[in-house]
Structure 1
Amino acid sequence: MSRSVIQKFKAAGIALAISGSMAACTVFPVPEAPRVMVFPTPHTLNGNTASRSESLRIDTPMASDPYNSSRILAKPLPWEFRVYGGVRWRDTVPILVRDMLAGAFRASASFQHVVMDPAPGSADLSLSTEINAFHAINQGDSARVTLSVYGQLVDNRSQAILCSNSFTVSTPAEDTSIEAVVLAFGNAGEQLANELIAWATNCNANPS
Structure 2
Amino acid sequence: MTTRFFGAIVITLGIATAAGCTVFPNPEPPRVMDLAWSNTERAPASGIPFVLRVDTPYASEPFNSTRILAKPSDWEFQSYPDVRWRDTVPMMLRDAMIVSLRRHAGFADVIAETSPAEANLTLVSELSAFHAEEPGGYPRVNLRLHAQVIDAGSRQSLCRQTFTVEQDAEGPAIEQVVQAFGDAGQSLTARMIDWLSGCGYPPAPETVRARQP
User: TM-score band (shorter)?
Assistant: 0.7 to 0.9
The answer to whether structure 1 residue 51 and structure 2 residue 11 are counterparts is: no
Unaligned residue ranges in structure 1 (runs of 5+): 1-14
Aligned twin of 2:64: 68
| Partner SS state of residue 94, structure 1 | helix
Match of 1:92 among 77, 88, 97: 88
Aligned twin of 2:208: none
Letter in 1 for 2:22: V
Unaligned residue ranges in structure 2 (runs of 5+): 1-6, 202-213
CA distance in 2, matches of 1:139, 1:184: 15
8 Å contact 1:174–1:180 — kept in the other structure? yes
Q: Hey, which bits of structure 1, 4+ residues long, moved more than 6 A?
A: none
CA distance in 2, matches of 1:88, 1:71: 5
Report the CA distance between 1:31 and its aligned residue.
Answer: 1.5
8 Å contact 1:42–1:189 — kept in the other structure? no
Aligned residues: 190
Letter in 2 for 1:117: E
Return 68-77 or 107-116, whichever deviates more: 107-116
CA distance in 1, matches of 2:177, 2:82: 14
8 Å contact 2:64–2:90 — kept in the other structure? yes
CA distance in 2, matches of 1:23, 1:143: 44
Aligned twin of 1:148: 144
Report the CA distance between 1:27 and its aligned residue.
Answer: 2.5
Larger radius of gyration: 1
8 Å contact 1:43–1:190 — kept in the other structure? no
CA distance in 1, matches of 2:171, 2:96: 24
Letter in 2 for 1:197: I
| Partner SS state of residue 101, structure 1 | helix
Aligned twin of 1:11: none
TM-score (norm 1): 0.84
CA distance in 1, matches of 2:137, 2:105: 40
Task: Give the number of the structure whose residues are more often strand, by fraction.
Answer: 1
CA distance in 2, matches of 1:112, 1:69: 32
Percent identical residues: 42
TM-score (norm 2): 0.82
Letter in 2 for 1:78: D
The answer to whether structure 1 residue 203 and structure 2 residue 196 are counterparts is: no
Match of 2:166 among 167, 170, 184: 170
Q: Provide the alpha-carbon RMSD of the alignment.
A: 2.1
